[in-house]
Structure 1
Amino acid sequence: MVINVIRAPHVPTSEELWNAVVGVYFSLQARNPSIEPGIDRLRRLELRRVRETRKYLIDTFRDIALGMPFLDSLHPFYRELIELMIDRTVYKHSLAKVGHATKALSSIYRDTILSIRSATTNYDIIRARKKFLSRVRDLIMDLKPELDFLKGAAVRLDKLPNIEPGLFTIVVSGMPNVGKSSFVRCVSSGRPRVAEYPFTTKELHVGHFTVLNDVKIQVIDTPGLLDRPLSERNKIELQAILALKYLAKVIVFILDPTSHSGYSLTEQINLLREIRSGFSTPTLVLINKIDIATENEVDAALSNITVIDGSIPIFKVSTINCSGCKVVIDHIVDNYVIPMLKESLSRQ
């Protein structure tokens, strides 16, 4: 299942919607010339205004109710990612209330049409118009909490990364400031922000590269994880967990053997152990910053990694200058991408 970036419809505030309704209503003028009596001309104009206003509001309500993503129909990664950002219960309630507003609007419309058609004076028609606009305004203002919530949700949805769950995906993981973003920049089109302080990456970033002429590979840079239980992780860290859980075909765990990241080797090894025990996905470990790491630091990292798993592939790289990064990608292509393609062909 391939899902491109989720686009949300424009959601106006209640004030914006009311101003738009007034604009639609009074933009319609009587058509000249006309030989109709004054009351018939006014009646025809107000009927047209009411119909056009109803159509505009129904289109707006439906665009919102049907244009916002249905969470249950999304890929689990996107569904849970969205639920990290917005309250699922409030979201579903808000969509339902906006969708059901068309029923209340239809009732207002029927009453108004009947009043205008049965009016015997211009005053009666104008009174029906005022009542119609007053009831429509009350309806719109009653939707204020829901429209405000959905407008905020739409802004968040528009900022979701353009991730395709169906692609072969490399998820880059590790503690903050170990070089994850630099690695993604080295091997893909992704350009996540790189800085010399932790927690620079606060959301998922995606890059791509192509192998074997037309096979598209996705690389995801994740926020840094800390050495602590899942229940204590914040929403930024949980984005990384979702990527590991639902997207990763290969996990690239980056480890900094130096003291520059601000996290000890023990903390990083504990995190690696947790990832290895929590996910069955093939995992590679990159010992980064070999341009500045001492031989003793590299050896200590190597010995600690092999204690966890003596068969885990280990690479020495320097993401500051991309040294060794191509070897990592070649290994992934040879050992995971090509076998996957062969298996796929054999099933056809």
Structure 2
Amino acid sequence: MVVVQPFHNIPSIPTYKQLMDIAFGRASRTSVKLPAVKDKLIIAKIKEIKRIEVSSSIIIDRLKNIVGSMPNIDSLHPFYRDLFCIMIDRDRYNLALKNLSWALNFIGRLRRKYIVEVRRASNPSEASQSRRAFYGRVSSIIKSVGGDLEFLSNVHKLKRLPALDFNFPIIIVCGAPNVGKSSFVKCVSTAEPEIAEYPFTTKNIIVGHLIGPHGVIAQIIDTPGLLDRPLEERNKIELQAIAALRNLHGGIVFLFDPTETCGYTLEYQFNVFKGVMDLFKDRPLVIGLTKIDLATKEQIDKAISLIGSYKIYLCNTLQCIGVKDIVEELLNQLKI
């Protein structure tokens, strides 16, 4: 399955200095076809007009590409829209696009004006002066939108977000750090999991795919650095990033480590669990106890007693034991 997310076409955004260097540098190296008549004024006009055309075309095309590749926020899926609005100031974004559109249109008008001036030049020096005046005006315009280019370069970072297909259920794997979430995703994925990034966590997020006889039936993601701590330990922006996950429709797998070798007590893990349940109380849920190859009967019994009346599955994510039973139960709840 080839899935792309809405930011994949966003190009690399140059600084205003880089854009001017590219445009003016390429214009200065552009060769022109000279007429048979060796008239210095005609030759000068041809060269200067070509420089104006090349430099302006590069800048206009680059700005058009940037503006045209930026997403329409209102058309984004709520998951991506929420993440976008957490990471990018919406009003500043719209203003930046407006300023770039103004700049490219104004440069187009200046191009026509200064080409006329070059054609009216009475000597080569005057033709060169008109072209330099054009360069000066364009430099001022590009410098004035330098802050907008810098701001939009932040949008380019959204290309690293996971690519999800919202036509299929998305299973979120939760639990405290080191309980085996990533191993679980790798075990149940019937295709090679994809590595992506998620805002406000330094760890990669893994997206796996469950494939049945007729193609993909669900996606599954782990949540490193996200749903692995009690919600009361989160700041406002982290809570917003976590809340964006509520836009993913599917089920929840929550993993407990009864051995506590993950570095967290069962009580701590249960607090994480309660936070997840508050967020996803309306979602199908399956609970797994991991590391059953290490856990004693007493540890397993203690975990089951703490968790309460939920149906609990035992698994070993390193050896992929019991993980498919968990997924099959969740798929049954999702009626897949």
Shift of 1:211: 1.5
- Whether the 8 Å CA contact 1:211–1:217 is kept in 2: the answer is no
Amino acid across the alignment from 2:11: P
Shift of 1:229: 2.6
1:326 match: 324
Partners in 2 of 1:288 and 1:87 — Cα distance? 41
- Against the structure 1 CA distance between its residues 153 and 314, is the aligned structure 2 distance closer, same or farther, given a 3 Å change threshold? same
Amino acid across the alignment from 2:253: V
1:130 match: 132
What is the number of equivalent residue pairs in this alignment?
325
Shift of 1:102: 1.3
Partners in 2 of 1:230 and 1:78 — Cα distance? 24
2:42 match: 40
Q: Does 1:226 align with 2:229?
A: yes
Q: Does 1:97 align with 2:95?
A: no
Q: Deviations over 1:94-128 (max 9, x none)?
A: 22222221132134223312321322222211110
Q: Does 1:68 align with 2:58?
A: no
Q: Which sections of structure 1, spanning at least 5 residues, go unmatched?
A: 194-198, 339-348
Partners in 1 of 2:179 and 2:243 — Cα distance? 17
Partners in 1 of 2:271 and 2:19 — Cα distance? 53
Q: Does 1:260 align with 2:261?
A: yes
Shift of 1:319: 0.9
1:137-148 alignment, distance < 5 Å: 137-148=139-150
Partners in 1 of 2:13 and 2:318 — Cα distance? 43
Partners in 1 of 2:3 and 2:32 — Cα distance? 48
- Against the structure 1 CA distance between its residues 223 and 178, is the aligned structure 2 distance closer, same or farther, given a 3 Å change threshold? same
Q: Which of 305, 308, 313 is matched with 2:307 structurally?
A: 305
Q: Which sections of structure 2, spanning at least 5 residues, go unmatched?
A: none
* TM-score of the pair, normalised by structure 2: 0.87
Partners in 1 of 2:185 and 2:304 — Cα distance? 23
Q: Does 1:206 align with 2:204?
A: no
Q: Deviations over 1:57-93 (max 9, x none)?
A: 2111110011122222211111222333333343333
1:172 match: 173
Structure 1 segments of 4+ aligned residues over 6 angstroms from their partners: none
Shift of 1:207: 1.0
Shift of 1:50: 1.7
1:148-159 alignment, distance < 5 Å: 148-154=150-156, 156-159=157-160
Partners in 1 of 2:268 and 2:109 — Cα distance? 64
- Identity %, equivalent residues: 32
Amino acid across the alignment from 1:332: L
Q: Deviations over 1:146-166 (max 9, x none)?
A: 222322431x12212222222
Amino acid across the alignment from 1:77: F
Q: Secondary structure at the match of 1:315?
A: strand
Partners in 2 of 1:230 and 1:98 — Cα distance? 41
